[in-house]
Amino acid sequence: MINRRDLALSTLAVSALALSVPALAASADDEAVAKKVEAFRLAQIAADPKALGALCWDDLSYSHSSGKVEDKATFIANATDGKSKFLSIDYKDPTIKVVGSAAIVRFHWLAEQEMAADGKKVSTNLHILMNWQKQGDEWKLLSRAATKL
């Protein structure tokens, strides 16, 4: 025989469990996206076409602060052509918001690169918005936009 008090307590316990499971899943997705974002940053510094390719959707839309928009093939070709190399890239104050199978990532980009032609060093100070999409169990970059600060 179950009384009202026992029924209320068991209902409360099941409700608490149901609310905590999605929170745990969200934090696991947050962590997975954070790892992909860091892998992307390291691939940019290394100018690694294979790593960049594996992190991006085939339908990537990559927008620069100049307004230039590249597809996946063009982005990877230009990012790895050797005309410049990154000396540093920092993603400052990142935020990640997972919404279903999408993740919105924002951060302050501070970077320095060296031009191969003349050795000139160029610094960039940008605000970045990345959209990541879950594909099976993998998060891949779907789009990126940059704004000069």
pLDDT in tens, 51-89: 999 999 999 999 999 999 999 999 999 999 999 999 999
pTM of model > 0.85: no
Residues of the chain under the 50 pLDDT cut: 4-5, 7-25
Q: For position 146, what pLDDT does the model report? A: 98
pLDDT reported for residue 148: 97
How many other C-beta atoms are found inside a 10 Å radius of the C-beta of residue 103? 24
Per the CB < 8 A criterion, the answer to whether 16 and 9 are in contact is no
Tokens, residue 47: 């100018």
Residues 142 and 60: beta-carbon distance below 8 Å: yes
